[in-house]
Structures are given as C-alpha cells and as structure tokens.
Amino acid sequence: MPDTFLWGSASAAYQIEGAAQEAGKGISNWDEFVKIPGKTFKESTGEVAVDHYHRYKEDVALMAEMGLQTYRFSIAWARIFPKGHGEVNLEGVQFYTELIDECLKYGIEPMVTLYHWDIPQALVEEYGGWESPKVVEDFVHYATFLFNQFKGKVKYWITINEQNIFTTFGWLTAMHPPGKFDDEKMYYQVNHHVFLAHAKSVLAFKEIMPEGKIGASFAYSPSYALNSDPIHAMAKMDFDNLKNFWWMDVYAYGRYPKNAYHYLEQKGVAPIVTEADQTILKQAAALIDFMGVNYYQTSVAEYNPIDGVGPYGEMNTTGKKGTGQVTGIPGLYKNPTNTHLKTTDWDWVIDPSGLRYACKEITSRYDLPIVISENGLGAFDTLTDTQEIHDAYRIEYLSKHIEELMKASEEGCEIWAYCTWSFTDLLSWLNGYQKRYGFVYVDRDEVGGSLNRYKKDSYYWYKEVIETNGQS
C-alpha cells in the first residue's frame, strides 16, 4: 500500500469504555435501552464493557507494541455534554485528551468518530433526540466543541457511524433505541436530521480545520443480482437505491437518489427536504474528504413478488447458524443467502471480493478516497490453559480481505486506511460478549471476568502485516 497508508483498528465508546456512570458522564440512550429485558443477548450491557476507560493505557501500549498506525474510536457525547448541551464535563474532556495524547505519544494517528450510536438520554427526553430537528444544532455544537478542542492533534474525523444501521434498528426493527417498530415515516425524517447534522458539522469543521480530513462511515453491503434474469437486475437496482445509495449519494452528492425518493413519496414516507436543506447537503458533499466504509458482507438481490416476504424477520443474535430469516420489500426485492459463499456462525456471508467491489464502486461512482473504518470477523474464541488463542479463522478472514483491498488499490482506488473491527474484544450490541472480534482477547463474559488482556495469534500476524506493509 502507499507510504501514507494507515493500518489500523477500531472501537466505539459504549462497546469498550465501561465507566458508564462515572466521572460526570451523563446517561445515554444505550444505558437506558439495555435495562429493557430481552433487548440484548443475555441482558449484556456496556456498564463495565471491557473497562477501557480505566485500562486505556494498557490497551494503547498493546497497540503500540503491535505497531498500529491509526486507532479509530468514538467519543461518548454524554461524557462531554452530560445533558447533550449546556455545561461541559471537564473530566470527560480530560479522558479523551489523555487517550489522544497517549496515542500520539506512540505515533498512533487518532481517528475520532463523533457519533457511534450513544446520544445523551437527556436529549431524548427533552425533544425526542434524533426525531426532532432541534438535534441538529446540538450535534453541531458538540462537534464544534471537539473540533476546537482537538485541533492540531486529531486529523481524521468521522461524523456519523453507520447511519443506515442505527436508524434501521432504532425505528424499523425495534432492536436498538428508541425501540420503535415499523415507523417508516419517522425513520426517513430521522435520517434527514442525521444528514443535516453531518452536513453542518462538515461545514463547521472546514472553517476550523481546513487541513483536517472528514467523512461519514457507512455500512456498505454491495449487492449482486440473483442471476441474469432482468427481473433480478431491477431488484438489485431498487435495493441499491434504497439501501446503499440513499446514504452514500447524500454524503457524496448532497441529494437523494431520485427513483428511491419518488417511491417513498408515493408511499407517503419521504422526508421533508427544504431548499435550505438541499443547499447545505450539497455544500457539505463538496467538502467531504473521504467515504468511510464499514464492510462486513454483501447481499443478493432477488425479485420479491407483491405477496412475498416482508421487511421484518428473525436475526441471528445467538451464533447458532441458520437461525436468521430472509427479508425484503414486497414488490421490489428480497435478500436470500448467497449459496456460493460460506457464512459466519452469525449467518454473515464471508465475501472478501465484496470489499474490492465496494472500493471500486465508490471510486467510480463518487471519485472519493476511501477509509475502511471497519472490517472483521465475529467468532467464538477459546482461551487455552496456557492462555493462548488460536484464531487461524480470523487470520484467514482478514488476510483474504486485505488481498482484495490491495487489488482494489492496484486498480486505481485511493485507499487511505484500513481499520479492523476490533483491537480488543468488546461488547457486540446485540450479541453480547461471546461474539469476539479483537486481536486482544478480554477475559469476560455476560456476567464479568478478570478483564485481563491476552494476545491472540492474529495479534502477532497483524503486527507482521503492518511491518511488511501488507506483504506477509
């Protein structure tokens, strides 16, 4: 990869920090949501998570020893502004300052995500959080505070993590806060507010830090038409417009895909977009520096008859293969499992070439540099009696994805960074602590554990990948 390329790893505040009610932090939507019985796997919470808040020095030292070049983490909004706006919590600011300084001390480039799904609960109670347009100014105020605070230290910024996922789970499938089901009209309106929050933050950022780099991270699942029957080609197009380009086009072009907007307008659920909104979205689109991509899997698009499967079905959150259900939009598409590919224990298809496809699509469609902000394998890991973790499956998964990434780079994609998910094991939002992603094993399960850290085989392997710039 090019000399400036960064080999990295990623995390998110709620999934790793713990100290949920310490050091002046306000309550977030997730702190509240996990209290509802049955919402998370075996009632697991991020109350303690893997205690990164208290062990960040140990974690960063492990990153440094590995030679990690960038560490992507998120800031918990409620640690900075416990009520979402108003008084600043200086202890929160101090924590992130120390974390950033610790990274810089070892030459690790910090990459900061402003929003990885934890909004201060106070804003939810005050005006409904993302449901109200009022959230836009509060988000921009929070973002601007951080830009000023960390100017000169943090060059790479991600506004919003996986807007498509947190809004889908929050307002359609009730699996994330605020736990709304099938509220399509609000879902699209919420998304519009998030887009405006992103866009106005980008504009503020470029005033404060014109030399910095900013973008949003999208959970991109490229699609393949089931076969050459044109009916499936149309299904693929509809899927892409509604499930991929709906977000990426706004980030990159500042407008919604027209056919998808028309479809939603006819359905009566399209968001209200004013002329002023259009101007802001376009201005921000012209200013973003990269497209952040979280890549895990691809989708198959198959025509779905009008009496076909609906959008809601069981998701595999247990790790028992084959328990996820096929879903889709009647009259448009459905997404069956790709029979050509293997799946993880959580039924996610493993498709390294999909990563290359994603990079090429973004390069051709948007002509933007790319930051792979997440990619990784969730698996059951075993700690041996001699405290080793032999995760050859993770090494295989990551090496095949990296091979495809390098091919994409050779084929003309400008890729700035690759962040694996994740560095240490951490909480999986819906799948608890048994679904592990890290290079570093953390001894904990749903109820607790020593929280001791152990290097997995993949830790040593990625160290070599970094040392050899991907040649090993």
DSSP string, 115-143: ESS--BHHHHHHH-GGGSTHHHHHHHHHH
- Beta-bridged to residue 115, according to DSSP, are 160
Closest to ligand BGP by CB, 24 or 292? 292
Least distance to ligand BGP from the beta carbon of 386, Å? 28
Largest CA distance in the chain: 63
Cα separations in angstroms, 178 against 47, 187, 205, 314 = 18, 11, 29, 19
- CB 29, min distance to ligand BGP, A: 15
Q: Which is nearer to ligand BGP, 48 or 61 (CB)?
A: 48
Rounded Cα distance, 73 and 93, in Å: 14
The one catalytic residue among 131, 302, 361, 374:
374
Instruction: Considering the complex, state which of residue 12 and residue 190 has its C-beta at the smaller distance from ligand BGP.
Output: 12
The DSSP line for 401-440 is HHHHHHHHHHTT--EEEEEEE-SB---BTTTBTTSB--SE
Minimum Å gap between C-beta 411 and ligand BGP is 26
CB of 125: closest distance to ligand BGP in angstroms? 24
Q: Which is nearer to ligand BGP, 280 or 370 (CB)?
A: 370
Nearest approach in angstroms of CB 172 to ligand BGP is 15
User: Residue 424: beta bridge partners?
Assistant: 440
**CB closer to ligand BGP, 304 vs 335:** 335
Beta strand 453-455 with 440-442 is antiparallel
What 3-state class would DSSP assign to 231?
A: helix
Shortest Å, Cβ 77 to ligand BGP: 15
Nearest-CA neighbor of 329 among 229, 240, 230, 224?
A: 240
Q: Is 427 exposed, middle or buried (0-12, 13-18, 19+ CB in 10 A)?
A: buried
Taking the least distance from each CB to ligand BGP, the nearer of 15 and 304 is 15
Cα–Cα distance, 251 to 312 (Å, whole number):
27
Nearest to 298 by CA among 373, 219, 237: 219
Amino acid identity at 304:
N
46 vs 254, beta carbon nearer ligand BGP: 46
Asked if 133 contacts 237 with a C-beta cutoff of 8 angstroms, the reply is no
Angle between helix 184-208 and 275-287 (nearest 10)? 50
The answer, yes or no, to whether the previous bond of 178 is cis (omega within 30 of 0) is yes
Identify which of residues 15 and 298 has a Cβ nearer to ligand BGP in the complex: 15
Query: Between residues 24 and 46, which has the closer beta carbon with respect to ligand BGP?
Result: 46
For the stretch 139-155, what's the b/e string if a residue is b when 16 or more beta carbons lie within 10 angstroms of its beta carbon?
Answer: bbbbbbebbebbeeebb
Phi, psi of 237 (to 5 degrees): -60, -45
Query: Can you point out the beta strands (E) in 154-208?
Result: 156-161
Minimum separation from the CB atom of position 91 to ligand BGP (A): 25
Sequence length of the chain is 472
Residues that bind ligand BGP (CB under 6 A): 12, 15, 161-162, 165, 219, 294, 374, 378, 421, 428-431, 435
Active site residue 65: no
**Residue 409: both structure tokens together:** 């780079």
Minimum distance from CB of 208 to ligand BGP (Å)?
Answer: 26
d(CA 43, CA 65): 34
Q: Minimum distance between the CB of residue 294 and ligand BGP, rounded to whole angstroms?
A: 5
Q: Supply the residues annotated as catalytic.
A: 374
